Amino acid sequence: MGVGRRMKKQGAPAALGEAHFAALKKRKAGGEVTFDDEGKAPKQDKKRKTTTQEKEKPAKKQVKETVKEKPNGIEVNAVTKKPNGKVAAKAKVEAAAPATKKPSKKAPIPMDDDEEDESDIPDDEFEDLDDLEDEDGDEPMGDDFMGESDEGSEVYDSDEAHEKAMFSEDEDVSDAEERLTAANIAGLSRKLDEQKAIEDAEAQAELEEAALQTNIAGDRPKVLPGEDDEEVDQSTLLAPDLQLLRTRITDNVRVLDDFHNLAEEGRSRAEYVAQLLKDICAYYGYSPYLAEKLFNLFPPREAFAFFEANETSRPIVIRTNTLRTHRRELAQTLINRGVTLEPVGKWSKVGLQVFESQVPLGATPEYLAGHYILQAASSFLPVMALAPQEHERVLDMASAPGGKTTHMSALMKNTGVIFANDSNKSRSKGLIGNIHRLGCKNTIVCNYDAREFPKVMGGFDRVLLDAPCSGTGVIAKDASIKTNKSERDFMQLPHLQKQLILCAIDSVDHASKTGGYLVYSTCSVTVEENEAVVQYALQKRPNVKLVETGLTFGVPGFTAYMGKKFDSKLKMTRRFYPHAYNVDGFFVAKFKKTGPSTNTTTKDKPDTQAVQNGEEMDVDNKTPIMTEDEEERAAAGGADFGGFDENEDEAYIEKATRRRLRKKGLDPKGVLNKPKADKQEKSDETNGAASKETTAESSPKPAAKSDKADKKQAKQQKSEAKTQPETEKKAQAEIKSASKPEKGEKVVSQQRSKTVTTDAPTAVAKAKSKAKSKTKTKA
């Protein structure tokens, strides 16, 4: 499908410039920046257009230009955490905000229309927008359905919304939206603009001053301690001198930017980098290990921006549940409740960014009725990339608490079926809660270690693997990540992720008529958890290829890192950074499966061997012959970067296994020294504990896992060697007959899955325990 006109126009969130970080500095020093409360109307509102202006093209263009200049990045959108932990908008809404004002029917909120909306909105008031969409001639939702979503708006004017739009051929939805009303947004927007202008001016002055100082003296910033200087290690101080540290960090960044001219004579770049890392650890509170890992991802100046962005919260975003409502309706209702919001950006049709709220967003009647879910903007991205279609069969391998599952369900309009799996039972409860609240009727919850797929079932049209990860993209949300991730985590997590991705690939039906896609995503920015995992998958499964994500923003993935080379196609993957887009750090890769993974090609006959063998699994000969490119990457690629180093991993894995066994009250010596211990299962267990999520799940131990230990012991019985596969097969058959809906049988599958949403886990568990008791009896 070609890229639609709207898609081309769809803007990415603006990058955060130096001005922003200079402004942050100001905020740090001087406290939170807020707007005055006076609510005085400015003399001239550059966003507000008069009727005359509206009719005059040149005037309108001028306004549009102003709009383009306005960054929709953090300056405008950022919310700050108050000391009491509450999130407050940077700006207060002026008196004009219609918290108590009943919205006029003729003044709809300028939201993007969802597809769902387009087909069934009866209100006359939306006619203009709908007509416009037709004029735009967008293609229907396809794989890259984002091409359609373009109706977000950055400019609002309550005055003009009452007028009938006068659209011409060259006007687009944004034009229309500019003329639509949102009284509360107008006020807020104006204030934010004013604030932004002040911040920009201050930042500029500061930069100029800094540059001037450097030039005047012709000197080089003193960053490194001299021989005679008594060095104080700030990181060891109870109260490090933050001002000193910050100045030294910015000076150091400047030197590294222009090393030739600014470095002190006789000093090496490595010395500067070492000092910078030390200061970053002391100033931001990172462990040296993680600081270096993150620092290495960027040039020094960008690394600084990244660390800075991790100090501020990302905007609060809610996702409209289009199974229950439309975004405009939701926005209007929430505005009536005193919520200040606006569309999250042109790239999403369902996101609303919340600036301020008079009510707890997790307890409004609309929330309870499932009209929306609180969800970080970047969490929309993997689902948008996967683009699940109606009537498809989809697997969400690691789905709790269900933000992405419920999004997919809405995109599929409650048709087809989604298997929402998560290995963590307690997290699965949240998943089930969300599924019910949001009215997802095409979803079946299951509770497996995802590495059991496709043994449990395979043949999916699309698979989402939102993998457990270190969370280095969400440090702003969880500062403990700064210190609690060790080298071991970055060994074990990629190991688990690599196992999971192979299972995900093997669960996709390459012959799917509508799909055959896998999306791999993490909320981490490290290369080990992202590109290296993708590279590994490409190497191990030549029957997949990377395809474009269809996302309109994001930085291309690394094709080379720290001297190692990845497949050139890795540039098709996307990285999202807090400092670049004001969203959580994220990684998204989309694969298309081009051939069968195993000897079994039908979904009814998943290859159990594939899972048992883990990454050692052989690829069927029928897979496409490798291209030169592929051969090259197989020869040169990930083996030396990010591949499994079983020996190295072994020690960590074994240690963790012992600990887990001891927790369970088992004697590690007894269990581990038994002959023919199942190596794969052992490493599975260990790795399952490595992620943030699984760490949380490890205590108390889910029943399923202790069952696994029983199973493991039982497996070691010789007599069971033959009976095991049989019972497993029977269990699978029972599971399938209990839960697998017929593709295409819409009514049946909906009815069945409705029951199964609550009953599927029970059915699956029953089948499992039946199989297990058989196993035990025989043993």
Ligand X SMILES: C[S@@+](CC[C@H](N)C(=O)[O-])C[C@H]1O[C@@H](n2cnc3c(N)ncnc32)[C@H](O)[C@@H]1O
Draw the binding track, 696-735, toward ligand X (x: CB under 6 A; -: no contact).
Answer: -x--------------------------------------
Q: CA-CA distance, 577 to 585, in Å (whole number)? A: 4
Backbone angles phi, psi at 534, to 5 degrees: -65, -45
Q: Which CB atom, from 438 or from 450, has the smaller least distance to ligand X? A: 450
Q: Which of 174, 424, 472, 552 binds ligand X (CB under 6 A)?
A: 424
Helix (H, G, I), strand (E, B) or coil at 87: strand
Are the CB atoms for 337 and 358 separated by under 8 Å?
yes
Residue owning tokens 């009725």: 369
Residue 594 DSSP symbol: -
Are the CB atoms for 444 and 417 separated by under 8 Å?
yes
Helix (H, G, I), strand (E, B) or coil at 434: helix
Residue 348 contacts ligand X per CB under 6 A: no
Helix (H, G, I), strand (E, B) or coil at 372: strand
Q: CA-CA distance, 600 to 610, in Å (whole number)? A: 10
Q: Which CB atom, from 379 or from 526, has the smaller least distance to ligand X? A: 379
Q: CA-CA distance, 253 to 572, in Å (whole number)? A: 30
Query: Is 730 part of any known ligand binding site?
Result: no
Q: CA-CA distance, 553 to 157, in Å (whole number)? A: 28
DSSP string, 475-494: TTT-TTHHHH--TTHHHHHH
Q: Which of 422, 607, 615, 649 binds ligand X (CB under 6 A)?
A: 422
Backbone angles phi, psi at 125, to 5 degrees: -65, -20
Residue 469: active-site member? no
Helix (H, G, I), strand (E, B) or coil at 535: helix
Query: Is 401 part of any known ligand binding site?
Result: yes
Residue 423 contacts ligand X per CB under 6 A: yes
Q: How far is the CB of 404 from ligand X (least distance, A)?
A: 4
Residue 761 contacts ligand X per CB under 6 A: no
Q: How far is the CB of 693 from ligand X (least distance, A)?
A: 3
Residue 379 contacts ligand X per CB under 6 A: yes
Q: Which of 117, 466, 528, 685 binds ligand X (CB under 6 A)?
A: 466
Query: Is 466 part of any known ligand binding site?
Result: yes
Residue 688 contacts ligand X per CB under 6 A: yes
Cα pseudo-dihedral 37, 40, 43, 46, rounded to 10 = 50
Q: Which CB atom, from 158 or from 507, has the smaller least distance to ligand X? A: 507
Draw the binding track, 389-408, toward ligand X (x: CB under 6 A; -: no contact).
Answer: ---------xxxxxxx----
Are the CB atoms for 472 and 486 separated by under 8 Å?
no
Residue owning tokens 């029972």: 734
Query: Is 498 part of any known ligand binding site?
Result: no
Task: For helices 628-636 and 531-540, give the axis angle rounded to 10 degrees.
Answer: 120
- How many residues at the interface with ligand X, by CB under 6 A? 23
Q: How far is the CB of 186 from ligand X (least distance, A)?
A: 34
Q: How far is the CB of 397 from ligand X (least distance, A)?
A: 6
Query: Is 73 part of any known ligand binding site?
Result: no
Q: Which CB atom, from 98 or from 473, has the smaller least distance to ligand X? A: 473
How far from each other are the two terminal CA atoms of the chain, in whole angstroms? 56
Residue 681 contacts ligand X per CB under 6 A: no
Q: How far is the CB of 314 from ligand X (least distance, A)?
A: 16
Residue 694 contacts ligand X per CB under 6 A: yes
Query: Is 537 part of any known ligand binding site?
Result: no
Q: Among 492, 503, 497, 575, which residue's Cα sits nearest to residue 535? A: 497
Amino acid identity of residue 233, one-letter, is D
Q: How far is the CB of 295 from ligand X (least distance, A)?
A: 24
Residue 447 contacts ligand X per CB under 6 A: no
Are the CB atoms for 553 and 347 separated by under 8 Å?
yes
Q: How far is the CB of 75 from ligand X (least distance, A)?
A: 28
Query: Is 593 part of any known ligand binding site?
Result: no
Q: Which of 184, 497, 691, 757 binds ligand X (CB under 6 A)?
A: 691
Query: Is 396 part of any known ligand binding site?
Result: no
Query: Is 422 part of any known ligand binding site?
Result: yes
Phi-psi category of 516—alpha, beta or left, where left has phi over 0 and alpha has psi -120 to 50? left
Q: In 369-445, which residue ranges form alpha helices assigned H by DSSP?
A: 380-386, 403-411, 425-437
Q: How far is the CB of 741 from ligand X (least distance, A)?
A: 22
DSSP string, 666-709: --HHHHHTSTT--HHHHHHHHHHTTSHHHHHHTSSPPHHHHHHH
DSSP string, 720-741: HHHHHHHHHHHHHHHHHHHH-P
Q: Among 329, 378, 336, 338, which residue's Cα sits nearest to residue 356? A: 338
Q: Return the H-helix or E-strand segment holding 679.
A: helix 679-688
Q: Which CB atom, from 310 or from 421, has the smaller least distance to ligand X? A: 421
Q: Which CB atom, from 335 or from 418, has the smaller least distance to ligand X? A: 418
Q: Which CB atom, from 253 or from 420, has the smaller least distance to ligand X? A: 420
Residue 693 contacts ligand X per CB under 6 A: yes
Q: CA-CA distance, 336 to 99, in Å (whole number)? A: 5
Q: How far is the CB of 329 from ligand X (least distance, A)?
A: 25
Residue 103 contacts ligand X per CB under 6 A: no
- Where does this chain touch ligand X (CB under 6 A) — which range of 275-283, 339-347, 446-454, 698-706? 446-454
Task: For helices 242-257 and 300-309, give the axis angle rounded to 10 degrees.
Answer: 150
Active-site pick, 281, 446, 503, 523: 523
Q: Which of 468, 554, 606, 642 binds ligand X (CB under 6 A)?
A: 468
Strands (E), 612-672: none
Residue 507 contacts ligand X per CB under 6 A: no
Residue 450 contacts ligand X per CB under 6 A: yes
Residue 614 contacts ligand X per CB under 6 A: no
Residue 138 contacts ligand X per CB under 6 A: no
Active site residues: 523
- Residues marked as binding for S-adenosyl-L-methionine? 398-404, 422, 449, 466
**Site residues, ligand X (CB under 6 A):** 379, 398-404, 421-424, 427, 449-451, 466, 468, 688, 691, 693-694, 697
- Residues marked as binding? 398-404, 422, 449, 466
